[in-house]
Amino acid sequence: MSTYDTSAAENSESNETDLLDGAVCGVLKATERESLTADAIAEYVGAPPAQVQEVLEELAADDAVERVPMGEDTTGWVSATTVVEGRESSNSHVVTDRATGLVTRAETRREAYRRLGDRIEQFETGDHVGAQILGIAERVMSPTYVESFDHLIESYVEPADKHLYVYVQNDGVVEVETVTQLNRSQQILGFSLTGVYDREEFAEASMIPLERLFAETRIEPHHFPLGAFKVTAVHPDHQQQGIGEALGSHGMAYLAQHPPVVTMLWDRSDNRGNVTLVEDYPGTEHLATFESATPLQYHCPVCSFGTECECGTILYGWGFDVTG
Band of residue 3 on the pLDDT scale cut at 50, 70, 90 = very low
> Which residues lie closer than 8 Å to 68 by C-beta, 6 or more apart?
35, 75, 76, 77, 78
**Residues 107-140 as b or e (16 or more Cβ within 10 Å = b):** bebbbbbbbbbbbbebbeeebbbbbbbbbbbbbb
Amino acid at 297: Q
How far is the C-alpha of 300 from the C-alpha of 143, rounded, in Å?
9
How far is the C-alpha of 319 from the C-alpha of 324, rounded, in Å?
9
Q: What pLDDT does residue 269 have? A: 82
Q: What pLDDT does residue 4 have? A: 35
Fold classified for 192-323: Aminopeptidase (3.40.630)
How far is the C-alpha of 323 from the C-alpha of 199, rounded, in Å?
17
Q: What does the DSSP 8-state code read for residue 36?
A: B
How far is the C-alpha of 139 from the C-alpha of 106, rounded, in Å?
8
Nearest to 152 by CA among 166, 168, 173, 171: 166
pLDDT at 323 over 80: no
Task: Tell me the pLDDT tens digit for each residue of 206-241.
Answer: 989 999 999 999 999 999 999 999 999 999 999 989
Q: Report the 10 Å Cβ neighbour count for 181.
A: 17
Q: What pLDDT does residue 64 have? A: 77
Length of the chain: 324
Q: What pLDDT does residue 196 have? A: 96
Considering only residues 174 and 31, tell me which one the structure prediction assigns the higher pLDDT.
Answer: 174
Q: What pLDDT does residue 262 have? A: 97
Domain range summary for the chain, segments of one domain joined by +? 1-81, 192-323
Q: What pLDDT does residue 139 have? A: 93
* Averaged pLDDT for residues 145-172: 91
Task: Give residue 223's Cα distance to chain centre.
Answer: 31
pTM attached to this predicted model: 0.75
* Averaged pLDDT for residues 109-133: 89
Q: What pLDDT does residue 32 have? A: 59
pLDDT at 191 over 70: yes
293 exposure class (CB count in 10 Å sphere: 0-12, 13-18, 19+): buried
Task: Tell me the pLDDT tens digit for each residue of 37-83.
Answer: 999 999 988 899 999 999 999 888 876 788 888 877 788 888 765 45
Cross-strand pairs, 233: 191
Average pLDDT, the chain: 85
* Averaged pLDDT for residues 99-122: 88
Please give the full DSSP string across 146-160, using - where no structure is assigned.
S--HHHHIIIIISST
Nearest to 84 by CA among 62, 115, 58: 115
Crossing angle for the helix pair 109-124 and 38-45, to the nearest 10 degrees: 100
The answer to whether the beta carbons of residues 112 and 143 sit under 8 Å apart is no
Band of residue 114 on the pLDDT scale cut at 50, 70, 90 = confident
How far is the C-alpha of 82 from the C-alpha of 117, rounded, in Å?
13
Q: What does the DSSP 8-state code read for residue 71?
A: S
Considering only residues 174 and 309, tell me which one the structure prediction assigns the higher pLDDT.
Answer: 174
Q: What pLDDT does residue 5 have? A: 42
The answer to whether the beta carbons of residues 235 and 191 sit under 8 Å apart is no
Q: What pLDDT does residue 233 have? A: 94
> Which residues lie closer than 8 Å to 75 by C-beta, 6 or more apart?
37, 38, 67, 68, 69
Amino acid at 219: I
Ranges of H-type helices in the chain = 3-30, 38-45, 49-61, 109-124, 128-140, 149-152, 199-205, 210-216, 243-255, 272-279, 320-323
Considering only residues 183 and 224, tell me which one the structure prediction assigns the higher pLDDT.
Answer: 224
CA atoms within 13 A on the CB side of 113: 26
**Where does 1-81 sit in CATH, by number?**
1.10.10.10
How far is the C-alpha of 37 from the C-alpha of 107, rounded, in Å?
25
